[in-house]
Each structure stands twice: as structure tokens, then as C-alpha cells.
Amino acid sequence: MSISFTLNGKLAQFEASPSLRLSELLREKAGLRGTKVGCDAGDCGACTVLLDGEQVCACLTPAARVQGRSVQTVEAQTDALTRLRSAFHRHGAAQCGICTPGMLMAAAALLAETPTPTPDQAKAALGGVLCRCTGYTKIIAAVCDTNPPPAPPMPAAGMAVGAATPRIDGAAKVAGDIFGADLWQSGGLVVKAIRSPHPSARFTFGDVPAWARAKAALVFTATDIPGINRFGAIPAFVDQPALAEGIVRLRGEAIALAAFEDDGTPIPDLTDFPVIWEVLPPLLSPAEAMAPGAPLLHAGRPDNTLIKGTVRRGDTAAALAASAHVAEASIETAFVEHAYIEPEAGAAWMEGDVLVIRACTQAPIMDRDETAAVLGLPHDRLRIVPSAVGGGFGSKLDVSLQPLIGLVTLKTGRPCRMTYTRAESMASTTKRHPAQMTGRIGCDASGHITGLEFSGLFDTGAYASWGPTVANRVPVHASGPYFTPNYSATAQAVHTNNPIAGAFRGFGVPQAAIWQETIYDKLADQVGMDRLEFRLLNALRNGQTTATGQEMQAAGIVECLTALRPHWQRALATARATPGRGVGVASCWYGCGNTGLPNPSTIRLGITPEGALMLHQGAIDIGQGSNTVITQIAADALGLPLAQFQLVGPDTFLTPDCGKTSASRQTYVTGRAAHAAGTALRADILRRLNMGEAATLSLSGSTLTATEGTQSTRLALPPLATNAHGYALMAEETYDPPTTGLDENGQGNPYAVYGFGAQMVELDVDPALGTLKLHKITAAHDLGRTINPLLATGQIEGGVAQGIGLAMMEEYLQGRTENLHDYLIPTTGDMPEIESLLIEVPDAHGPYGAKGLGEHVLIPTAPAILNAIRHATGAEITRLPALPHRVLAAIARAKK
Amino acid sequence: MTAFLRPPTLDDALTLLGTGSFRLLAGGTDLYPATQGATLSGDVMDLTTLPVLRGITNTPEGLRIGACTTWADIARAALPPALHALQQAALEVGGRQIQNAGTIGGNLCNASPAADGVPPLLAVDALVELRRAGSTRQLPLSAFLQGPRKTARLPSEILTAILIPKGSLAGQSQFLKLGARAYLVISIAMVAVRLTATQGRITSAALAVGACSATAQRIATVEAALIGSPLGAAAQTITAKDVAAALSPMDDLRATAAYRHTAATELLRRAVTQTCQALA
């Protein structure tokens, strides 16, 4: 039917099926792709638009219903939206930006009724839009602050580091950024995957050619793959087929691709794809997978064990036997879904004989290497151009659709695009490892830790992914940031037919911290010490060695715990007078970068003859802010103002390798490379001008000027010869952290830099219902040097939100929670007040002393919540999440 | 080609309904999530074109709520305290987007055991009005809801209105929903309570519990026990045994059955206490 309506103030008319989702009409027919689709089920609110001024989910609105009415999207230019965009930008309320259009529209509806809302009004109005990055704090603050003074200017030369400057890519984020699903070449193909409904099965195909003819589809299967049909994050464990070869090992595994003309014709029903399944009994737990006689998921991995990691130091058995106090715990955690609001999406096309893949990712070079191997392409024929990334948190380190769309375009020569549904995103991509952890920790009569014994079984699912990293990181970190002279920790990753467990913010360390930090509370009680003071007593200090034998150089945990002390004493005093109130504390430490393996970053900085200052920034910004932070570091190292920098990339043809956005490494590792590049370029300029190190630089037009005191010299850029990159001046520098591999006992210096933190939770437990009400989380994190306080506090608030989800509500069950209404993540109403305390204990390795932060911030939250529950009620939660029925059962156990 | 009908009048809709098999579309907040497609499948009749189905009106018999009245309409309306529970429920359905689109009639026809609208309506003895070409019938809501995703509506019928008898519009009411997060959450358990009182004693009680049985249930034994109870001591007359006898909860991913029994009792006590405070 023909549908005419007012769209952003102008009359619009489209031919569309009357029941077409409005989100589809806006994106596909009107070309307004600021409206994002996160779930197609009304669960996430990303597609929120205004219909006659009221917020609705465009995905639930039939096109026919807007006939004759008024629709407003994020592309509208209204006074309210302009003020909201400005406020979101200024407050750092947009991190990855995928939820931002929905948030802005929901907020616009609120402001129309309530021009100066309270935080509670804002929370209620935005309660239908999910955000996975920010923890909502800055969003709510922005909505309540839309009549501000003008924004301060960007920092001057030499003043960028430490400035709370808004993200330099923030304008795009608040306009509706261009994500994986938002850009493609027309006239191509739409790709859909045929996926297994079974966690374990063999299969053969029926009459695929007949089906393809009937559906006007091009079908691709494993036999079409020109290269090696295997990918994986870690070269020694590459085991995952891009398209399954006769056997599937998890529900949601792709077995074939069907490509259709991208001409607006509805995609036909795919459920009758001709495949004959021979369903096999799945192995759904590590116990089943390790049982004698259990079938092996992968040949050469006996007992279905992918890997075991071990760290041993001293004589733990003897130390525990001699300890005045020993406490133990067995804790079980669930599969946790990353639940970024952007499902995997991307597009591919040919440029000459180069295959271009534009998709969401955290690791473009790894995408290139893995996809090139699958497609049998040399690296110079595959260009990875990352899109804006709508949240990653570890899962987008793995390739998802890159080999799939690459295959279709390579085989057909035609452009194509693919967008995962929420269900296939949740079923087929990685999760946080469920852990079964057990062990003991001992201390002497004065409270000093004597020894720790830990054993963790991690369900790593069907394929290796980042399982080896988890198995290595957990034993290194299970002591927490505490001096533990005798130590024995093992982590075993076991294959099952469950979802693939891979990288998720912290690589298993959050699970281990839950185990260790809850035992610490029991030990403190046994000793009769205050729980915070017990931690301070044992906190790692410089000169002490870690469980891997590494000598601490810039430990900041004492400072973090000390910063919490006044808050802790206030909270305990309040709790004594408040029935049901609990206060909990927990710490974290986390090594930044790969574990004892090289992970270099390279930064290129160039100035064109015309005077354009170009930063080739290959570190993927998934919302955490590397575009801004790396530039701030480069700016001060070079000595030119932040505002003059233009960013290039990431793009595997344009930017040198900055490694992957994981392991809290970008600020530290890429930051060091940026610092080195800025320093080198500055030295080159000063040398050419024969000026000293103290000179100040300025760049005006095509002239560089160095000034020191009354002396000033100028360098005209146009006469300089340009290099192969087109630059008159250029520096390219690489940094790789100085680490050593771990020996057979896990001894060595696996990381050059560690970050530290401690968080305190104040909550109420409803003793009759087992429900929790969070009041406040105070988070002290040692950043070494805070490059950008606005972004740092944004990381803390977002990490805390994910920690709350891990502790209280998140549990992925395959086939049962493959959507965002059965799989729960925190909403605006679930967030307490968060107070961030930024601690700076500089690290000699970090740029300006900076340490990583991104993963640290999630680690203490869940154990601090569990410790607060125990403080309030005596209840020990041994299985996460702490859903109300589990809390109530734990309270009942504690009363016995 | 599938049909998508937007009938101009209710009579047209009823006539058309006799000519084929249609999926009835109201807010769309249940039909769209049930498909992965860009459009709805099958022949669809959109009922939101019919103004007669939207709005709340006083009638000689009581109150009439059009089936396509949205949750936001209900939350905004000036309604007697007996429907305070329904208004509270309206503000706990999904988020604002869902409240602006979702309708009370759709909520009932979708027949989820966890439908937020049902306990408050059971507590006011609601009836549903079902029309087909040439005839109209009324059914108690409790008879209309036959099980999960199962109602007494015939394919030729449209649920046109929810009717609340005048006698049930008396008293104070309260709704409590328990879920694992603040917004956008499917209930673990929920209760609605409506009480009337004179001279400090309860004269009538209506208690309903949702998400703890195949359909939400009134708790008749507890209601009977509350009659005559002083307002200050009403909650303690509610026993776990009486509540449990009326419910048949399941273990699911949100909670255990045993927990639901405990929670239902506790929520009823709290809702009764709060309602008594409003009456006092």
C-alpha cells in the first residue's frame, strides 16, 4: 500500500507492505538508518521513535499505522534533540552509541512533557531502552541537564592528558552513528545463515539445488570454501569451521548460507531448507564431557579437555595445614551473554581484486588473518574496514560473519550484506565461561594470608575461542591483589555442546574473584578483623612477589582500599542502625595485555605538506574511548593541540596493527606507541628547527612554528619531500610490553603493567522475598594516570552495571533465553548511585604512568554484592546469579 | 499475497471476520516479537483503526474499557481507587514504548500466565465483552482465560471491551509485581488486592495472584478469611497454606515453584497491608 505521513516535519510517501515494521520502512525505504534495530521484539528500545510525539518501538509498529500521522526519528532537527545531543556529548552519555538514538528519542518525549525532569522521572522515561556500556549514570545526568552553559573549548597544546574532554568521535555518536548494519552497496545480495537447532548432530543435505531454485537463492556450503575451513583466536587451537562439515557441535552453528537479491523482496521462509539431521545426545556439562567413554568433540583433546593452566608457588598443603584459620568455598557461575545492543552485522564488496569487509569487530588484523585463511586469500587481497561497533565486551574479538559475507562476495563478485537476528547472535556467538570453582585459603592468627588452593572447571563450550586465555589468566589472578606466599591454582577448560565460551571482559578473572573475595570475608570474620582492614593487611605492596614470582613495581591496591576506608566506616555505621542493610567490599587486579605473549601496537603520525595532522589509529574504539584517549596521549607527546588531530582508520589498508581491543591493553600498549610516535615526530621537528626540547610547537596552515622564550623558528611544510605515505613529516613507532612467558609452574612476569581497584556496595536485602535493593557503589580504581576522567568514570559505571548483571540476574540458557526479555540485563531502574574514586599510582611502563581499566571495573562488583548480602543476612550465595529464590534459600540455610 | 485489513467500523470488522481466518492485531507488542520477519505472516486485521474500541467510559452498569485502550491511556485516566491496582500494573508493563502501544485487550487475548493486566482485573470481577456479527456475549474474565495462550474467544469474535461491574468499583486496591529487574521484566509473581471496609473492618476482599498458575487466580479461601478482620490485623490472617492451595506454580528460569508460593503469600500480605492503610 502507499503510506504517507509526516517524517521529521516533512511529508513523506512510501510504497510498503502494511505490516512492514516501521523500523524497516525507516531504514530500508526512507534511508534513515539512525534508527537502530537491536532485537525486533520491543525488548531493547534501540529503535524508539516518536509517533505523534509518543515514544514507540518502531520494530513493533506496522507501517500502515503511521498513515497520516507524524513520525520523528533521531535525524530530526528539533530544539529538544539539539539540546539532548549536546548534553549527551558533554556528559559522555554515548559510549558505543548504538542505544543513543533510542535514548535520545525517549528523552525527547520526556522533555516535551517535563522540561526539567528529576533523575527518577528520567529513569522511568528511559526504562524501556537498554544500554550495555554506560551503566546509565551519564545518560540520566545528561537528560536532567539539557540547559547548560556552553561547552568548554578543547584542551590546549600539552594539556590533553588528564582533561575530561568529550569523545572526539562524540558528534557522530549522538547523531546516530554508522554501525555494521548501516552501510552497504546497493544492488547486491542479502545473506542469511541456515543454523542448527540441535547442540549435537550429524547432517546431510537434501536437494539443495531444487530448494535454491524454488527460493531464488544462491546457496553456499562448506564445500564452497576455497581456503581452510577453520578459524580460531589462538593459532594453536584453531578448530571452528566457518560452515559446519557434516557435524554440528552447538545449537546455532551455521551449516549453509542462502543469499537473496537485495531488492526489497521479502526473505522467504528458511525453515524448510533441505537438511537431514541425525541428532546426537549432547554433552551439556563438564561432568558429562569428562565422564569415561564420553565422545570427544575434537580429536586430540582427551577428556574433552581443551587446556589446563597452573600456577604453583611454595608448599601450599603445608602452609594450609599450619594455618590458624582456613576457609573454603565452592561457587558456581552461569553462562553470561555479552548482550551488546548491536547484533553482528556487516557488508562485503570487491574493489578490483580486493575483497573489502566492513563489519563490527574488536580485532581487525585477526579478522583479516582468520578470514584470509578461510577464503584462501593473501593479506593484500583482503581489506578489513571496521564499522562503528555497537558494543563488544570480548565477543567481537572472534570472527562471526566476516568469513560468511566474504565467501558470498568472493564467489559471486557481488556486494552483499548480513545482519544477525538477536536470536542467532545470542545462540551462535561466545559467552562468559561458566565456572565451578572450589578451594581453600588460609591465614595466620594475625590475619596474614599463608596459602591458597584453587581449582576451577570452566565450561568452554563447543570450540576453543579464547578458552586457553581464560585457563591461563585465572590461575595467575586467583590470588586477587594480595600477597599469597604459598599458592596452587589450576583452571581446566572443558569442551561441551554448550555455547562457545570465549572472551568476556576479564577472561575468567571475574569468576575467580567471586570465589576468592567471598572467602576473604569468611577469613576476616574468623580472625575477628574488619573486612576492609583484613584486605589492607594483605594487599600487595611494591617489592612483594605475586603468585607467579613477579616483583610488584607499581601496586595501587593499598591506595584504593585506603580511599574506600571513610566510605566504609560511614556505611558500616549506617548499616548497624538499618535492618536488612549490608555492606560489602571486594578488590581486583588485572594484568594489562597478553599473558606472557607479544602484543605489539604500532602508531603512525604524519603531517601532510598542506599541514594536515593525521593520526593512524588502529585501536578499535568499541565505546571505551580509545579514539580519544590515544589521541590525547599523542597530542601531548607531540605538543600540538588535540583539536588539530585528524584520525585515520582503523582500516587494515591504512592503519598499522594496534592489536585487538581486549585485555585492557589499548590505553597502555597503543598509548605507549602513540606516545613514542608523538615523541619521535616532535624530536624530528625540533631537530629540523634546531630548537631545544622545551620549545612549544604550533601548526598553522602549512607552517610549523617552534617557540622558546623569545626565540621562534618556522618550518614550511610544502617544500618538504613527501614519503610513500604522502607525508612531509612522519613518525611510526611500535611498543610491545616487556613480559616473559610462564614456565611449567606458572612462574614468570606475564604482564608489565597491572591495574588495581576496590569497590564497596551498600544494599538492602528483603529477608522475606530475597530481593536486593542496591543503594550505592563506591568504586576506587588505580589508573596510574587518568588520561580522561570523563571516559574513565564512564568505564567504571558501565563495568559496575555488568557486574550487577553478573551478580543478580544474568544466566544464559540455550534455547530458553535467546532474547532480551528472558535474558535480563540491568535497566535504568537497576542502577544505584555510583561514586568513582580515581586513584593514580603511576606505572613506569604506562604512557604518562597510565594503566588499563576496561576490565578491572567489572571484577569487584559481583563479589562485593555477595559480601554485602552475607553481611546483611549471613546468607552465602554459592550459585550465581543471585536471583530472589536463590537468595531466599541461602537465607534459610544460614538460619539453620 | 496476504491481507492486511484496516476496517473503518466495528460492523465492517465483524462482517469481514466471518469471511476468513484473521490474526487480530492490536498494539503489536506480542505479534511482532513472535516473528523474525520484517512483516507479519498470514491475514491480519488491525483493530486500532476502530475508535470505538479505545477509551474508558462510565456506563449505568459500571465501567467500560475499550479493548484497544493502551496501558498509557489507563495510567493517565482518572479512575476510582478500586482501579489503582490496574493503573499501577499499567506502569509496570514493559517500558514506556510498550505502554504507549500495548493494549489491555491484547494483553488478555495473548493469555500469558504472567499477563500484568489480569490480577487487577480479576480483583474487580471484570467481564469481557465478545462480539461477532449479529451477537454479543459477556464472560467473566476468569472463564475467558482458559490456560496459557488459550482463551474462550471464537475465531469469529472480537474482544471489544472489558466491563467492570459497578459493585466492584468500591474500595481501595494495590498491585505488587516481583521481577528480577526494575523495568521490562516478566513477573516472577504478582498480586492485586481490592478491599472494602466499614468501621475499621474488612467487608469485602478480592485477592488475585498472577504468574503462579496457568492463569492468574483469585484466592477465595483467603478472601473469605479476611472478611470481618480489623484493618490493622488483616495481613496476618493470610496463611501460606491457603494461598498455596489456590496456586499451581512451576519451576522455570525465573524462579522455583516453592519460591513462588512463598513470594505470593508475602506479596499478598504486603498488598493487603498497604490497602488497609489506604482504607484507614
Q: What is the pLDDT of residues A850-883, one digit of tens each?
A: 999 999 999 999 999 999 999 999 999 999 999 9
Q: Is there a contact between A345 and A513 (Cβ–Cβ < 8 Å)?
A: no
Residue of chain A with shortest Cα separation from B42: A19
Under 8 Å between Cβ of B203 and B196: yes
Tell me the backbone φ, ψ of residue A458, rounded to 5 degrees: -115, 125
Q: What percent of chain A has pLDDT over 70?
A: 100
- Do A326 and A442 form a contact (C-beta atoms < 8 A)? yes
| pLDDT tens track for A604-647 | 999 999 999 999 999 999 999 999 999 999 999 999 999 999 99
CA distance B24 to chain A (A): 12
Distance (Å, whole) CA B62 – CA B70:
20
What value does the mean pLDDT take over residues B5-11? 96
pLDDT tens-digit series, residues A507-517: 999 999 999 99
Residue B48 CA, chain-centre distance (Å), reads 19
Q: Is residue B229 part of a domain?
A: yes
Residue range B242-251, pLDDT digits in tens: 999 999 999 9
Please indicate, yes or no, whether residues B84 and B25 belong to a single structural domain of this protein.
yes
pLDDT bucket at A143, cuts 50 / 70 / 90:
very high
Are B185 and B274 part of one and the same domain? yes
In a domain, B197, yes or no: yes
Closest residue of chain A to B267, computed from CA coordinates: A769
Element (H, E) at A261: strand A254-261
Residue A447 reports pLDDT greater than 80: yes
Q: Which residues of A touch B258 (CB under 8 A)?
A: 885
pLDDT tens, position by position, B27-84? 999 999 999 899 999 999 999 999 999 999 999 999 999 999 999 999 999 999 999 9
Residues A357-408: pLDDT tens digits? 999 999 999 999 999 999 999 999 999 999 999 999 999 999 999 999 999 9
When pLDDT is averaged across residues A654-663 and rounded to a whole number, the result is 97
**At residue A790, does pLDDT exceed 90?**
yes
A121–chain B nearest CA distance, Å: 12
- Cell 570472527 belongs to A399
Task: Say if residue B56 is in the same domain as residue B11.
Answer: yes
Looking at the structure, tell me whether residues B102 and B125 fall in a common domain: yes
ipTM of the predicted structure?
A: 0.97
Nearest CB partner across the interface for B4, out of A64, A109, A824: A64
Domain-embedded: residue B180:
yes
Question: What's the gap in Å between the CA of B230 and the closest CA on chain A?
Answer: 24
Please give the grid coordinates belonging to residue A879. 550459585
Q: Which residues of A touch B6 (CB under 8 A)?
A: 18, 64
Chain A contact present for B6, CB below 8 A = yes
Cβ A163 vs Cβ A98: under 8 Å: no
* Alpha helix ranges (H) inside chain B: 10-17, 71-76, 84-90, 96-101, 104-110, 118-122, 141-144, 220-226, 240-246, 257-279
Name the residue among A127, A825, A889 with its Cβ closest to that of B95.
A127
Among B118, B149, B167, give the residue marking a domain's end.
Answer: B167
Helix axes A531-538, A557-576, angle to 10 degrees: 170
For A539, the 3-state DSSP assignment is: strand
- Cα–Cα dist A425/B188, whole Å: 26
Among chain A residues, the shortest Cα distance to B185 is held by A821
Nearest to B40 among A19, A124, A883 (CB): A19
Alpha-carbon torsion A644, A650, A654, A660, what sign? positive
Backbone dihedral angles phi then psi of residue A642, each to the nearest 5 degrees: -55, -40
Supply the range of the domain harboring residue B105: 4-35+51-167
Query: Does residue B255 belong to the interface with chain A, where contact is any CB pair within 8 Å?
Result: yes
- Residues B163 and B175 grouped into a single domain: no
Q: Could you tell me which residues come within 8 angstroms of residue A781 by beta carbon, excluding any fewer than 6 positions away?
A: A560, A755, A756, A757, A792, A796, A836, A837, A838, A839, A853, A856, A857
Judged by a CB distance cut-off of 8 A, whether residue B50 touches chain A is: no
- pLDDT band at residue B269 using 50, 70 and 90 as cut-offs: very high
Same domain, B82 and B100: yes
* Nearest CB partner across the interface for A60, out of B29, B44, B185: B29
User: Does the CB of B92 have a partner CB in chain A at under 8 Å?
Assistant: no
pLDDT band at B2; cut points 50, 70, 90: confident
Is residue B37 less than 8 Å (CB to CB) from chain A? yes
What CA–CA distance (Å, rounded) separates A470 from A407? 31
Specify the amino acid at residue A782.
D
Distance CA B278, CA B119 (A): 19
Distance from CA of B163 to the nearest CA of A (A): 27
Is B114 a member of any domain? yes
**B182/A43 touch (CB, cutoff 8 Å), yes or no:** no
DSSP letter at A179 equals B
Q: Residue B44 domain-assigned?
A: no
- pLDDT tens per residue, range A593-607: 999 999 999 999 999
- Residue B212 in grid coordinates: 503462579
**Is residue B95 a part of any domain in this protein?**
yes
Chain B nearest CA to A206, separation (Å): 25
What's residue B1's pLDDT? Answer: 63
Inter-residue contact A92 to B132 (CB < 8 Å): no
What per-residue confidence (pLDDT) applies to A153?
Answer: 85
Chain B environment of A819 (Cβ under 8 Å): 33
Q: Would you call B98 and A24 a contact, using CB atoms and an 8 Å cutoff?
A: no
Residues 6 or more apart in contact with residue A81 via CB below 8 angstroms: A74, A104, A108
Q: Are B157 and B131 in contact (CB under 8 A)?
A: yes
The reply to whether B119 and B258 lie within a common domain is no
User: Which secondary structure element, helix H or strand E, spans residue A375, and what is its range?
Assistant: helix A364-375
Q: How far apart are CA B92 and CA A66, in angstroms?
A: 26
CATH code where residue B138 lies: 3.30.465.10
Distance from CA of B155 to the nearest CA of A (A): 21
CA distances from B180 to A50, A430, B251 (A): 29, 24, 15
Are A888 and B6 within 8 A, CB to CB? Answer: no
Do residues B81 and B30 share a domain? yes
- Asked if the C-beta of B240 comes within 8 angstroms of chain A's C-beta atoms, the answer is no
pLDDT of B32 reads: 97
Contact A421 B36 (CB under 8 A): yes
Residue A149 pLDDT level (bands cut at 50, 70, 90):
confident
Q: Do the Cβ atoms of B96 and A43 come within 8 Å?
A: no
Q: How far is B62 from chain A (nearest CA, A)?
A: 30
B42 belongs to a structural domain: no
B95 interfacial to chain A (CB closer than 8 Å): yes
| Residue among B6, B184, B243, B273 with most chain A CBs within 10 A, to mutate | B184
Cβ pair B186:A423 closer than 8 A: no
Q: Which of B242, B83, B263, B51 is nearest to B164 (CA)?
A: B83
Shared domain for B8 and B22, answered yes or no, is: yes
Helices (H), A291-363: 316-321
Cβ of A60 and B32 within 8 Å? yes
CB nearest B94 (choices: A42, A771, A809) = A42
Residue of B nearest to A109 (CA): B96
- The answer to whether B74 and B105 are in contact (CB under 8 A) is no
Asked if B100 has any chain A CB less than 8 Å from its own CB, the reply is: yes
Q: What is the pLDDT of residues A662-714, one digit of tens each?
A: 999 999 999 999 999 999 999 999 999 999 999 999 999 999 999 999 999 99
Given a contact cutoff of 8 angstroms between Cβ atoms, the answer to whether A788 and A163 are in contact is yes
A228 vs A225, A236, A239, A257, A524, CA distance in Å? 7, 15, 11, 17, 54
For A833, phi and psi rounded to 5 degrees? Answer: -60, 140
Nine-digit cell string for A255: 551449516
DSSP 3-state helix, strand, coil percentages of chain B (rounded to 5)? 35, 25, 40
pLDDT for the residue numbered A716: 97
Same structural domain, B77 and B107:
yes
Could you tell me the three cell numbers for B229?
Answer: 478482620
Q: What is the DSSP string of A715-777?
A: EESTTSPP-TTS-SEEEEEEE--------TTS-S---S-EEEEEEEEEEEE-TTT--EEEEEE
- Which of A20, A60, A426 should one mutate to test binding to chain B, selecting the residue with the greatest count of B CBs within 10 A? A60
**Can you tell me the distance from the alpha carbon of A100 to that of A35, in angstroms, rounded to the nearest whole number?**
10
| Residues of A whose CB is below 8 A from B178 | 769, 771, 884
**What is the average pLDDT value for chain B, to the nearest integer?**
96
Looking at beta carbons, which residues of chain A come within 8 Å of B254? 883
- Give the model confidence (pLDDT) of A264-307 as tens digits: 999 999 999 999 999 999 999 999 999 999 999 999 999 999 99
Assigned domain for B131 exists: yes
C-alpha cell at A511: 569468576
Question: Are the C-beta atoms of A338 and A392 separated by less than 8 Å?
Answer: yes
What does the block give as the cell for A218?
544462491
- Contacting residues of A for B72, CB less than 8 Å apart: 54
Average pLDDT value for residue range A96-100: 98
CA distance B140 to chain A (A): 30
Give contacts of B182 with chain A, Cβ < 8 Å. 127, 827-830
Q: Which residues of A touch B263 (CB under 8 A)?
A: 769, 884
Boundary residue ending a domain (B143, B167, B191): B167
- Domains annotated on chain A, with CATH: 1-176 (3.10.20.30), 189-282+344-419 (3.30.365.10), 431-595+743-895 (3.30.365.10), 601-735 (3.30.365.10)
Contacts of A1 in chain B (CB under 8 A): 4
Q: Which residues contact A732 (CB under 8 A, 6 or more apart)?
A: A602, A603, A604, A605, A656, A677
Last-in-domain residue among B112, B144, B167: B167
CATH number where B230 lies: 3.30.390.50
Nearest to B96 among A59, A127, A881 (CB): A127
> Sign of the C-alpha dihedral, residues A630, A635, A641, A647?
negative
> Residue B183 is nearest to which of A51, A816, A828, comparing CB atoms?
A828
Q: What count of CB pairs under 8 Å joins A to B? A: 156
Quick count: other Cβ atoms within 10 Å of Cβ A541? 11
Kind plus residue range of the DSSP H or E element containing A139 = helix A137-143
Domain match, B25 and B141 both? yes
Q: Is the pLDDT of residue B224 over 80?
A: yes
B94 at interface of A, judged by CB pairs closer than 8 A: yes
Q: Which of B124, B113, B236, B115 has its CA nearest to residue B174?
A: B124
**In terms of domains, do B272 and B178 share one?**
yes
Q: Is the peptide bond before A650 cis (omega within 30 degrees of 0)?
A: yes
Q: What is the mean pLDDT of residues A144-155?
A: 84
Q: Looking up cell 476502530, which residue turns up? A: B50
Question: Inter-chain contact A888–B28, Cβ cutoff 8 Å?
Answer: no
Average pLDDT over residues A757-766: 98
Contact partners, residue B55, CB within 8 Å, separation at least 6 = B65, B66, B69, B73
As for how many domains chain B has, the answer is: 2
CB contact under 8 A, A56 and B44: no
User: What pairs with residue B70 in β-bridges?
Assistant: B103
- Asked if B134 is an interface residue toward chain A (Cβ–Cβ < 8 A), one would say no
Site of grid cell 537485495: A262
Q: How confident is the model at residue A485 (pLDDT cuts 50, 70, 90)?
A: very high
